[in-house]
Structure 1
Amino acid sequence: MRWVGLVPLIGLIVACAPQDVPLPSRSAQFENYPERLFKTFEIGCAGPGEQFQQLGNRVFECSELLPPDTTAYLILNYDGYPQDLPTSVMRLTSTKNSTGYRVDADLYFDVPQRTGPAVQVPVESETLDKALTALYQAMGGSPAI
């Protein structure tokens, strides 16, 4: 799921929603299990170079190949292995709690190494955080800190 592609998708979903502006957050609280959120996430991860995976009962991941310049940058700066290309990853994890379900998003670049585990380079982006907050709200969640 191209993260920049996520922004227009969210814009369409929330165009008619109330426009309260909460603080951007990568986490949200839902009263009920957010099935619709995860289905939307899966459908949005169906483009060329994208791969959707469910990594357990409540962990969903979308990874995608990166443009050549970003790929080269990550390989050179994080001692990546050029035979196994880096990807961008968005992972949504749902955890049951006393008030329903909390969903947390992780955004990172996964840079495979020749030996050992891949390096996960965190992605910091206020634009993406705002887009996630809007998506959570459109799906019935409340931003959580």
Structure 2
Amino acid sequence: MKLFTFIPFLACIVACAPQDVPDASRSAQFETYPQRLFDIFETSCSGPGESFERTSGQTFECREFLPAEASAYLILNYGGNPQDLPQSVMRLTSSKNADGYRIDANVFFKVPQRTGSVVEVPLDSAELDQSISRLFQAMGGSPS
């Protein structure tokens, strides 16, 4: 899954329907469990260098290896281990609450360290936040 192509791909599902532009958010509330969202997330994470993993009961990740230049930049600037390359990660987490299900998206670069630990470098982008909000809305959620 090319991180920046996944979100627009999913948002295209309802791109032709008129809709309000939601506030930029990486969280949304769903009345029922958004199985379709997670199914599409898994399906879209199947390209070369990509891996999909359910890391816990309700946490799903799509990881992707980065181009050489981006990997080198992260290794040099964040003390990474050249033997264990950085990856981009998009994580979706679901939690049940009184109103249904809250879904949180987290996007970051995972930079393995020589000590064995990992540094997570957040990817902050207003455009990405807006795309995630549109995706959640397209899947029936209310961005919050």
Question: Does the pair score TM above 0.5?
Answer: yes
AA matched with 2:12: L
AA matched with 1:18: P
Structure 2 partner of 1:132 = 132
Matched, 1:38 2:31: no
> How many Å apart are 1:126 and its aligned residue?
1.3
Residues 28, 102 of structure 1: 8 Å contact kept: yes
Structure 2 partner of 1:23 = 23
Structure 2 CA distance, aligned partners of 1:65 and 1:85? 7
Structure 1 partner of 2:81 = 81
> How many Å apart are 1:13 and its aligned residue?
1.0
Coordinate RMSD, CA, aligned:
1.1
State the TM-score, normalizing by the size of structure 1.
0.95
> How many Å apart are 1:7 and its aligned residue?
4.0
Residues 109, 123 of structure 2: 8 Å contact kept: yes
> How many Å apart are 1:18 and its aligned residue?
2.7
> How many Å apart are 1:16 and its aligned residue?
2.5
Matched, 1:49 2:49: yes
Residues 75, 82 of structure 2: 8 Å contact kept: yes
Structure 1's unaligned 5+ residue stretches are none
Structure 1 partner of 2:69 = 69
- Give the ranges of 4+ consecutive aligned residues of structure 1 lying more than 4 Å apart after TM superposition: none
Identity %: 60
> How many Å apart are 1:11 and its aligned residue?
4.1
AA matched with 1:93: T
Residues 11, 138 of structure 2: 8 Å contact kept: no
Aligned length: 144
